[in-house]
Amino acid sequence: MVSLPRVVVAAPASGQGKTTVATGLMAALRARGLKVSGHKAGPDYIDPGYHALATGRPGRNLDPVLCGEELIAPLFAHGAAGADIAVVEGVMGLFDGRGRTSFGSTAHVARLLDAPVLLVVDAASQGRSVAALVAGFAGFDPRVRVAGVILNRVGSAWHEEILRAALDDLGVPVLGALRRDDGVMTPSRHLGLVPVAEREGPARHALDRLGAVVGAAVDLDAVLRLATSAGPLPTAAWSPEAALAGSSRPDPNHPVDTTHPADTCHPTRPADRVGGPDRPDRRPVVAVAGGPAFSFSYPETAELLAAAGAEVARVDPLRDEALPPGTAALVLGGGFPEMHVADLAANEPLRADVARLARSGRPVIAECAGLLYLARELDGQPMCGVLDASAGMTGRLTLGYRDATAAADSVVAPAGAAVRGHEFHRTAVDPPHSRDPAWMVGDRPEGFVRGSVHASYLHLHWAGYPELARRVAEAAAA
């Protein structure tokens, strides 16, 4: 059982100001001296980076599509451990889920967390009609408690008075009203907001201002009362050790039960079983890419690798000229290599080191940005040359969840294993797959498998597939 004040910040549609309000609330509550835990519904990597900057804790994703709905409450409890309050930023519109359903929507996550919803409404072009809009959202699904409204982009004191009067008649409390302020805007580009890792100084300054703006415009005491109205959540915290202990059945569409207390589960680690007489306790080093070009990574990935027996080390392909000493495997996640292609190309020593690691037969796992980095070239600039393929920017956005099966045995998964991942890019690779593809997405082959190299556009959340971490750690230790 978890007793933690919590609130979900939602909106009628994308672009209404969810990120502004949610991140501003996190910063304002932290400025009050509270320990704040930030969460994001859905697969997005960028918003949690801003949450982490605002709270001083890792931003955590809650995605029923990628992880399974039974893991949402345990993952929430794990990520929010030790916090005084949790703020969950929604995704898209409140009821927008996968395809024609609300599965994976903000409303779905709010139900799974039994959390009240704070609806952010962009009021820039409406008056009393705001009441009809809020009434529709509040009454659409009785299982979802829309318990308050924050008005965004209010034009004037008179405009605010009209809006508040309309909502008073409805009986939904207005907990704050933000005026139009371009000074708290975050720059965007082809895949959304510019990540924190690429602009930490300016982002920190903007967040300080945003926290002050939200703190002055929102009734924080009312938000705290609303968050406290969420009752005890009947769950135990997820733990990577317990997840690995229960991951013997490789059916990723039915995530393992991780509700057992972590201190009762002590799986045998690969490092306890391998090595030689001269290095009996050596944990294999698994390097995980980070930095401005590779900022997309769920924190559970590193936690699972460590629980599986690996020593996790960070490497920044923009700045580090060599892999960490003793690297036995490399995980290259997502990010924006296309925005840093010249600097990645200029770091020839690291590119050569990555190629040597791949040639040695050590595991190299690449998702999206990692796939581009392993290619022969990206937008005409030399990359690692591990894959005989060229990559480049296109004008086409590829976006959405994908159901896939492993096309063959690999370091990541056994042949036939089912996974559910997410694609989000404006690049293309030629050829799009090798003779031995990583996945079959329906009848479409996708990605590359070459020896112990596994490269694909598909992003996976490893909490839903803990066996991946075990396979990588064991292959690194072998």
Q: How confident is the model at residue 180 (pLDDT cuts 50, 70, 90)?
A: confident
Mean pLDDT of 316-320: 97
**pLDDT tens, position by position, 281-310:** 689 999 999 999 999 999 999 999 999 999
- Residue 41 CA to residue 370 CA, distance in Å, equals 24
- Residue 367 CA to residue 330 CA, distance in Å, equals 11
Indicate whether 249 pLDDT > 70: no
The answer to whether 322 and 364 have CB atoms below 8 angstroms apart is no
Cis bond upstream, residue 414 (ω within 30): no
- Residue 91 CA to residue 19 CA, distance in Å, equals 9
Indicate whether 4 pLDDT > 60: yes
The pLDDT value recorded for residue 329 is: 98
Mean pLDDT of the chain: 90
pTM: 0.90
The answer to whether 74 and 236 have CB atoms below 8 angstroms apart is yes
- Residue 110 CA to residue 200 CA, distance in Å, equals 30
- Residue 418 CA to residue 415 CA, distance in Å, equals 9
* Greatest alpha-carbon span in the chain: 78
Kindly give, in sequence order, each residue whose CB lies less than 8 Å from that of residue 159, ignoring residues fewer than 6 positions away: 123, 127
The pLDDT value recorded for residue 198 is: 60
Sheet harboring 448-450: ordered strands across?
311-315, 285-289, 327-332, 364-367, 453-456, 448-450
Q: Is residue 368 among the annotated active site residues?
A: yes
Mean pLDDT of 368-385: 97
The pLDDT value recorded for residue 264 is: 28
Q: Which candidate, 227, 239, 230, 234, places its Cα nearest to that of 78?
A: 239
**pLDDT tens, position by position, 396-443:** 988 999 999 999 999 999 999 999 999 999 999 999 999 999 999 999
- Percent pLDDT > 90 in the chain is 82
Indicate whether 121 pLDDT > 50: yes
**Rama region for 68: left / alpha / beta (φ>0; ψ in -120 to 50; rest):** left
Q: How confident is the model at residue 453 (pLDDT cuts 50, 70, 90)?
A: very high
Q: How open is the CA angle 289-291-19, to the nearest 5 degrees? A: 115
Mean pLDDT of 13-23: 94
The pLDDT value recorded for residue 248 is: 43
Q: How confident is the model at residue 204 (pLDDT cuts 50, 70, 90)?
A: confident
Mean pLDDT of 455-471: 97
Where b means 16+ CB within 10 Å and e means fewer, 147-162 reads bbbbbbbbeeeebbeb
- Residue 190 CA to residue 139 CA, distance in Å, equals 35
**pLDDT tens, position by position, 59-81:** 999 999 999 999 999 999 999 99
Mean pLDDT of 102-124: 97
Strand 36-41 to 60-62 pairing: parallel
